[in-house]
Amino acid sequence: MAEKIQKKDRMKIPRSSMPEQDPNERAKNFTEVPFGLSEEQALQEASRCLECPKAPCIAGCPVEVDIPGFITLVMEKDYAGAARKIKETNALPAICGRVCPQEEQCEQVCILSKKFTPVAVGYLERFVADYERENNLVVMPKIASPTGCKVAVVGAGPAGLTVAGDLTLLGHKVTIFEALHKPGGVLVYGIPEFRLPKKIVQSECDYLADMGVEFKNSTVIGKSDTIDELFEMDYDSVFIGTGAGLPNFMGIPGENLIGIYSSNEYLTRSNLMRAFDFPTYDTPIIKGKNVAVLGGGNTAMDSVRTALRLGADNAYIVYRRSEAEMPARAEEIHHAQQEGVQFNMLTNPVKFTGDKDGKVVSMECIRMELGEPDDSGRRRPVPIEGSNFTFDVDLVVVAIGNSSNPLIPQTTPGLETNRWGNIVVTEETMQTSREGVYAGGDIVTGGATVILAAGAGKVAARAMHKYLMDKKDMVAGED
Amino acid sequence: MAKILDNVKIGPLNWKMRVHVPKLVAKAKAGQFVIIRVNEQGERVPMSIAGLDRERGVLTIIYQVVGKTSALMTTVETGGEIIDCVGPLGLPTHLENWGTAIVVGGGIGIAPIYPIAQAWKEAGNKLYTIIGARSEDALFYEDEHKAIADKLIVCTDDGSYGRHGFVTEPLKEILDSGEKIGMIMAVGPVPMMKFLSKLTAPYEVPTWVSLNPLMVDGTGMCGGCRVAIGDTTKFACVDGPDFDGHKVDFDLLIKRLAAYKEQERESFHRFVESPDCRLHQSIKEIAQS
Ligand SMILES: Cc1cc2nc3c(=O)[nH]c(=O)nc-3n(C[C@H](O)[C@H](O)[C@H](O)COP(=O)(O)OP(=O)(O)OC[C@H]3O[C@@H](n4cnc5c(N)ncnc54)[C@H](O)[C@@H]3O)c2cc1C
Ligand SMILES: Cc1cc2nc3c(=O)[nH]c(=O)nc-3n(C[C@H](O)[C@H](O)[C@H](O)COP(=O)(O)OP(=O)(O)OC[C@H]3O[C@@H](n4cnc5c(N)ncnc54)[C@H](O)[C@@H]3O)c2cc1C
Ligand code: SF4
Ligand code: SF4
Ligand code: FES
């Protein structure tokens, strides 16, 4: 191994910058934007880490990845070992390395961020996971001997996939029921190819299938079977990870005009149905020239960048607060700016107008200013009287968040939900108000993040395992 | 994957497909629908339930060729497969004994109205059934409807069979006769459902229609299927597809159905003109028109 560099010298090494496609070029294609670090860069970046004994970064990660532990393995060039180290607590490193808001999590609290720039934990996480996958170094883990217990997981998003993986390792037989024709949840239908290639999500699902997880796609629980019927089918426990899937609209005049999509519809058409590749794929999508995307989150950034790639001349973000309040990841906002997205801050739409065919042609907005802080602690935007103005649009994407889908609560008697329709759980176990039924991810928290959903899956899997084993012991005791 | 038991032509542009989906069939109820995808590149298309053989686990779909996907469906051979068939989706049609009830099916709507007629009859209703098609050769399910209706009226637009004219005419006569009608359900082309709802409104007979907006997921996730009902916006795939015809904004639905006209035409043409196109001549003709 190369000689250890002194701590004070390590701090002087600049943070690696991620090689990526040229903004002008990439704004026209759907290929992934960042290329990933080279081995050299990864080694250099790893050498910046001070391997702090108390490693604050670990606590900054919602699933407590052993960051210095895996970085040490990178320095030893044991990249597959590093990937396995991460997988002890995070089953989806290739995905999290790409989409985690590291700047608010692990990297935010890195010691180096106080005086310098933090270690690029996300880049390294991506590097080792890609290395492991691309070099076929993924090994099947040892699976505990069968417990004889059957578990049903509803929803194949990050929460459901994590539960399925963890419980399979512990010897339970897991079946995932997914409403759509492909597993992955938001990872396949929401997050675009240029940010998260679908083959990565597919390989994570294949890995689970190889471990023995059974996937039943195109199965809508609540319609084909209810939760109670799953128990009748001899499932011993059920996990609900159905996400936050019901799109919110503004509720303003003209919103049902043609050319006004929810971000879910726009992204689903483009990503899951691959409408960007129409007519090779059959699903069409409206390609706007002047596109306004309403909202300031990741969903809004993904939509507006998709619009550029589908040929928009002008792609606008229209957001009622200021840039500081935008919930999107800093990296995504930066990428969108580089690609030529125009930001209209402190602006709120009030009305849409259409032509005789019912197609949207313009949007009336009002300017906003920031007032007192609201419940979320962000300053509340208030409209400025008389500041209305109109501009031409031929496509609008409404990306103002999702509510929870009522399908399962409606068909599951005794399943408690809160006033937003989210399923209520005990935090330590993710258990719902129904015995043997657990839930986690966006259906519990409302729209959050991939790693929080996966983390909730971890907690649930642990509690479900205990529940299943206790139940088995009880039955055995009765014999 | 779902197995296709048979797929036969039953009219100039109408086909009947029987799909082996036992689980789905065991759960499905009249008025619900499924979403199918023919192949990996395929669109997700909604199709109404036109028959349920619970013993054999067989779902019947009756479809009209209007574009690429419905044309592609005709190429699936007996014993072949389609990549997905998901459902049952949507809410079942409301079931009650209203005394006397009327079901009206127009065009391809003759198919989904059939399981509804069966269910309403079983619920104890005296049942009048009105079905209508463009002409005799586009008519189907007459015997099936005859077997359950207390009275069946068949119309054709061109007078080639049964009564000459639209389904709304015999309906008006029944309403004018003063007989008490508890409920009307209509399924068919949007203009038919629109005029029928307009007709029954002054008689104050509750009238339900089954709406067919464009859909993607069919689970409430995308909002592409939104329809305006009175002052509210509803998602037809989860809140419907049945709605109070007196409150539906049909003009909005008609416009929204035309959202992808140009792409649909392009896709259909490309398909028909591909060298290995094995489509029926009549389908090629509508693609050219
Ligand atoms: C466009 C977009 C971009 C995002 N970008 C980021 C990002 O960069 N970083 C980040 O950390 N987070 C991001 N998020 C948020 C993140 O994707 C979600 O928080 C996370 O996916 C939630 O995981 P989940 O498992 O709870 O649910 P989901 O991923 O929503 O998966 C739920 C699954 O359940 C299925 N389902 C629903 N109902 C049923 C039913 N009745 N029966 C069977 N299956 C059902 C759904 O079809 C879906 O596949 C983004 C979200 C969106 C929409
Ligand atoms: C709940 C529901 C149930 C349905 N049941 C049936 C059925 O039992 N049999 C059947 O033949 N069709 C049914 N449809 C309509 C069917 O889904 C469409 O005809 C089909 O998607 C057309 O696909 P295409 O590629 O062949 O045509 P496209 O190229 O997509 O469209 C060609 C033409 O058909 C029209 N069209 C497209 N989609 C629809 C639609 N959803 N409804 C009405 N017109 C449409 C378009 O406006 C266009 O003019 C149903 C639709 C819904 C929403
Ligand atoms: S999972 Fe996310 S938060 Fe945790 S270490 Fe990896 S990138 Fe950071
Ligand atoms: S806080 Fe930063 S420097 Fe310290 S161990 Fe974590 S990543 Fe390395
Ligand atoms: S089809 Fe997507 S919400 Fe109804």
Query: Do the Cβ atoms of B158 and B210 come closer than 8 Å?
Result: no
CA A56 – CA A112 distance, rounded (Å): 11
CA B198 – CA A329 distance, rounded (Å): 51
Which of helix, strand or coil describes residue B27?
helix
Count of beta carbons in the 10 Å neighbourhood of residue A242: 31
Cα A241 to ligand 1 centroid, rounded to whole Å: 9
Decide if pLDDT at A34 tops 50. yes
- For B232, the closest chain A residue by CA position comes to A251
Query: Do the Cβ atoms of B212 and B33 come closer than 8 Å?
Result: no
Q: Residues 6 or more apart from A375 whose CB is under 8 A from it? A: none
Nearest CA residue ID for atom 2, ligand 2: B212
Q: Which of A178, A186, A223 to mutate to test the interface with B (most CBs of B within 10 A)?
A: A223
Give the number of the atom of ligand 2 that is nearest the alpha carbon of residue B63.
Answer: 11
pLDDT value at residue B273: 83
Count of beta carbons in the 10 Å neighbourhood of residue B73: 21
Pocket test for ligand 1, best of A298, A305, A445 (most atoms within 8 A of CB): A298
Indicate yes or no: CB of B87 within 8 angstroms of CB of A405: no
Nearest CA residue ID for atom 53, ligand 2: B212
Indicate yes or no: CB of B221 within 8 angstroms of CB of A358: no
Count of beta carbons in the 10 Å neighbourhood of residue A345: 18
Indicate yes or no: CB of A220 within 8 angstroms of CB of B86: yes
CA A146 – CA A172 distance, rounded (Å): 6
pLDDT value at residue A393: 97
The DSSP code for A61 is S
pLDDT value at residue A2: 47
Q: What is the arithmetic mean of pLDDT over B121-146?
A: 95
Q: What is the arithmetic mean of pLDDT over A330-345?
A: 93
CA atoms within 13 A on the CB side of A15: 16
Which residues in chain A are closer than 8 Å to B213, comparing Cβ atoms?
none
Which of helix, strand or coil describes residue A356?
coil
B214-235 per-position pLDDT tens digit: 999 999 999 999 999 999 999 9
pLDDT value at residue A1: 43
Nearest CA residue ID for atom 3, ligand 5: B220
A127-177 per-position pLDDT tens digit: 999 999 999 998 888 899 999 999 999 999 999 999 999 999 999 999 999
Q: What is the arithmetic mean of pLDDT over A233-259?
A: 94
Cα A461 to ligand 1 centroid, rounded to whole Å: 18
The alpha helices in A76-180, defined as continuous H runs, are 79-87, 93-99, 121-134, 158-169
Indicate yes or no: CB of A179 within 8 angstroms of CB of B260: no
Q: What is the mean pLDDT of chain A?
A: 93
Give the number of the atom of ligand 5 that is nearest the alpha carbon of residue B238.
Answer: 4
Q: Touching check for A241 and chain B: CB below 8 Å?
A: no
A373-429 per-position pLDDT tens digit: 888 788 889 999 999 999 999 999 999 999 988 899 989 999 999 988 999 999 999
Query: Do the Cβ atoms of B13 and B30 come closer than 8 Å?
Result: no
Cα A70 to ligand 4 centroid, rounded to whole Å: 11
ipTM of this predicted structure? 0.94
On the 0-12 / 13-18 / 19+ scale of CB atoms within 10 A, A362 is middle
pTM: 0.94
CA A452 – CA A460 distance, rounded (Å): 12
Q: What is the mean pLDDT of chain B?
A: 93
pLDDT value at residue A209: 94
CA distance B170 to chain A (A): 33
- For A266, the closest chain B residue by CA position comes to B222
Check if B215 has its Cβ closer than 6 Å to any atom of ligand 5.
yes
Q: What is the arithmetic mean of pLDDT over B112-122?
A: 96
Q: Find the radius of gyration of the CA atoms of chain A.
A: 23
Count of beta carbons in the 10 Å neighbourhood of residue A387: 13
pLDDT value at residue B281: 73
Q: Which of A215, A257, A283 to mutate to test the interface with B (most CBs of B within 10 A)?
A: A283
Give the number of the atom of ligand 5 that is nearest the alpha carbon of residue A265.
Answer: 2
> Tell me, what amino acid is at B192?
M
- For B21, the closest chain A residue by CA position comes to A224
Query: CA of B187: how far to CAs of B31, B50, B117, B248, in Å?
Result: 10, 12, 11, 14
pLDDT value at residue A479: 58
Indicate yes or no: CB of A255 within 8 angstroms of CB of B260: no
Indicate yes or no: CB of A246 within 8 angstroms of CB of B270: no
